[in-house]
Structure 1
Amino acid sequence: MYKEISVPTKLFAALIILWSLAGSAAAGPDENAVRDLLHSTFDKPEAKLDVAPVVAVSGYAIAGWTQGETGGRALLRNRNGRWAIILCAGDEIRNAEALRQAGIAPDVANALAQALAKAEQTVPADRLAMFARFEGLVRMDEAGNHPPVHDRAH
């Protein structure tokens, strides 16, 4: 009839369930909204954007992205419930000092830089190298667009 399940088997099953729930809950609404914005802005039929990791802290987010053979990071701000891209860069926006220079409060800049460093620990080295390929720091306009003189592909 029914066979009793051993305690180790029950514990293993519980760990599997908790692990799967933790994985699905890892991305919150801010991270998903950032991904959606970047995809809707930069996806092309022939070149889909791959966005990960995304970290969000106190109304600011940083998203790593790759598209084809290039990549970079986007810094975003949430104003009145809407995310907008502030700037695009490579490694330049990985540290708290650069985030402070971009106008982010010191405590938020520190927390954002720490969250990014932690998230990027699991990113493969070849993907991190693609993020670094974006040269310079490109500020975005109020609508989240690159300035007209900038024609760098995402």
Structure 2
Amino acid sequence: MYKEISVPMKLFAALVVLWSLAGSAIAGPDEDAVRDLLHSTFDKPEAKLVIAPVVAKAGYAIADWTQGEMGGRALLHNKHGRWTIILCAGDGIRSAEALQRAGIAPDVAGELAQALAQAEQALPADRLAMFARFEGLLRMDEAGNHPPVHDRTH
């Protein structure tokens, strides 16, 4: 048996939910810059990137992406006001330990991993599964370009 919740409590609960969703959906300048970089680098006329979520902390960002039937995550770093892609991976960069191995300080790696986990909680399982399709870890060069790779989407 359950007790009926009053209308004011229902309204309050709805406002709390909406406020939390709005806060996670609002993109800041870092997230917008990351999306712009990824779109300008990897969009193709026949296959546009879908980039969401993007989380940014202390000059680093992780962007989840899909393109056609492929997906993955990109790790980026802001160097002197310019975002560059450090590496692309699948589930291999979700943990603080993996981010530390990529050269991120432990405290920032922990914050970034936690922010990503929180942002991904609301995603459907089939979208999360697409991010895991990227196998391995692909480091980028200093200009943020993939080394030569053949027959790979993204």
- 1:145 counterpart SS class: coil
The Cα RMSD (Å) is: 2.4
Partner of 1:117: 117
Find the counterpart in structure 2 of residue 127 from structure 1: 127
Tell me, in whole angstroms, the C-alpha distance in 2 between the residues paired with 1:148 and 1:26: 35
Name the counterpart of 1:61. Answer: 61
The answer for unaligned runs of 5 or more in structure 1 is: 1-7
The Cα shift of 1:138 comes to 0.3
What corresponds to 1:71 in structure 2? 71
Q: For the structure 1 residues 25 and 74, does the alpha-carbon distance in structure 2 shift closer, same or farther, using more than 3 Å as the test?
A: closer
What are the Cα deviations for residues 96-116 of structure 1, in whole angstroms up to 9, with x where unaligned?
000000000000000000000
- The answer for the alignment partner of 1:102 in structure 2 is 102
Q: 1:91 matched to which residue of 2?
A: 91
**1:36 corresponds to which residue?**
36
Q: Distance in 1 between matches of 2:120 and 2:68?
A: 20
Quote the sequence identity (%).
84
Show the counterpart of 2:3: none
Alpha carbons 2:49, 2:67 under 8 Å: kept: yes
Contact 2:77–2:84, Cα closer than 8 Å, also in 1: yes
Q: 1:54 to 1:98 in 2, by over 3 A?
A: same
* Compared CA separation, residues 41 and 72, structure 1 to 2 (3 A): same
Residues of 1 paired with 2:149 and 2:66: CA distance?
Answer: 22
- SS for the counterpart of 1:73 is strand
Q: Distance in 2 between matches of 1:150 and 1:74?
A: 19
Q: Secondary structure at the match of 2:34?
A: helix
CA distance in 2, matches of 1:85, 1:151: 20
- What is the alpha-carbon distance in structure 1 between the residues aligned to residue 150 and residue 74 of structure 2? 15
Verify the 8 A CA contact 2:86 2:140 in the aligned structure 1. Answer: yes
Q: Residue 150 of structure 1: CA displacement?
A: 5.4
Counterpart amino acid of residue 63 in structure 1: A
The residue identity in structure 2 corresponding to 1:38 is L
Secondary structure at the aligned position of 2:48 is classed as: coil
